[in-house]
Each structure stands twice: as C-alpha cells, then as structure tokens.
Structure 1
C-alpha cells in the first residue's frame, strides 16, 4: 500500500491519502483493515474511499463525509484508473469546512495520482 501521509491542513483538519491495486471487494476490505491497523488511521474521523473494479464496477464509501466517495470515483474515472483503491483520510479539526472539504479530497487524490506516475 502506498501511503503519502498528511497532504494538507485546514482549520485544524488534517488530510492524508493512501491506496493500492485491488480487484475485488474482499481486497478493498483487506486494504482498509491493514490501513486501520495504524492507530492514527483507526482514530481518524473519516476514511473515505473509491475504486473502479474491473468486474464489480465503481464502489465507494463516504464514511460519514457525505459525497467524498463520489469525488474520488469521478477522478478515478477521468484518469481511467481501474483496479485501484484510493483512500482519503480526514482527522476533523473542530471547524466545518463546507465545500472546501471536496477541494481537499481532490487535492489528496491528485497527489496520489501524481505519485503513481
């Protein structure tokens, strides 16, 4: 699993991004479990993710960050990156970010995609 760690901070909230190749929902669940073995990721407020699976199609989870999984999926679709899981982790800092949270998810996913090339 590729973990880029903390990408940005905004008003106390911290964002990180991770990911790995996957081909099934079971592999997604295993990757999430592996990530959450680290105490800091297990205690994160949100671990949102998206993946385009070759056979199962698009899968996502917002983990309480409404709409974030769809942002990840759209970016994966634009890049035509199938068979890959991208997880954006947020540690809530106490202040609502409004629409900025979606820009932060995009920044994290872009950082991850750039690290793949």
Structure 2
C-alpha cells in the first residue's frame, strides 16, 4: 500500500492519496478496511476510490459526490487496471465547491507520478 499524506491543503481541508494492487470489489473493501485501521484515515470525512477490473469499473464517492468518477476517468486514461486509488479528504469547515474536483484530480496525478517513479 502506497500512501502520500498531506499533499493538498485548501481552506482547512486536507487531502491524502493511497493505492495499491486490487482486482475485485472484495479486495477493494479489504483495502479500505486496511487503510482505515490507521485512526487518521478512519476519522476522515471522505475516502473516495475507484478501480478498473477486467470485469467492470468500480467506484465509491463515500459522500464526496462525483469524486469516484473523477478518479475512475483518470484510471481509464492511464489504462491502469487492477490498481485501486483512494483520495482521502478531511473537511476543514469551509465548502470548496468545484475546487474539490480539482483537488481530487491533483491528488490522483501526484499518485500516478509517484507510481511511475518506482
């Protein structure tokens, strides 16, 4: 499991991104459970994720409407299959409006960049 913490901060909200090999909905649930064993991630406002499998694309907004689709589209563009990406947000008290989608995109971009370097 690869985790990049404190990558974006805006109006009190903080973002992290995590990911790793994953090939099914069951593995995705297990990945999220493992991530949330860390108290910090368990207390996050949103753990939005997406995954491209051979069977079907999977996504979960976790209350951040549209975030899963943003992640999924970026996975499709990269043709990255069987790899889950989770964008975590801790709400800072001020609504970000459309900027939240820009932050989700940036978090995924940073993760993919980091993944390519290894």
Tell me, in whole angstroms, the C-alpha distance in 2 between the residues paired with 1:62 and 1:25.
14
Residue in structure 2 matched with residue 65 of structure 1 by the alignment:
64
Q: What's the secondary structure of 1:16's corresponding residue? A: strand
Moved over 3 A (4+): none
Tell me, in whole angstroms, the C-alpha distance in 1 between the residues paired with 2:111 and 2:22.
15
Deviation at 1:25, TM superposition (A): 1.1
CA offsets, 1:84-109, max 9 Å, x none?
A: 10000000000000000000000000
Residue in structure 2 matched with residue 74 of structure 1 by the alignment:
73
Provide the aligned length of Structure 1 versus Structure 2.
116
Deviation at 1:6, TM superposition (A): 1.5
Q: CA RMSD in A?
A: 0.5
Alignment TM-score, normalising by the size of structure 1: 0.98
Uncovered stretches (5+) of structure 1, i.e. residues with no partner: none
Uncovered stretches (5+) of structure 2, i.e. residues with no partner: none
Residue in structure 1 matched with residue 85 of structure 2 by the alignment:
86
Q: What's the secondary structure of 1:6's corresponding residue? A: strand
Alignment TM-score, normalising by the size of structure 2: 0.97
Deviation at 1:17, TM superposition (A): 0.1
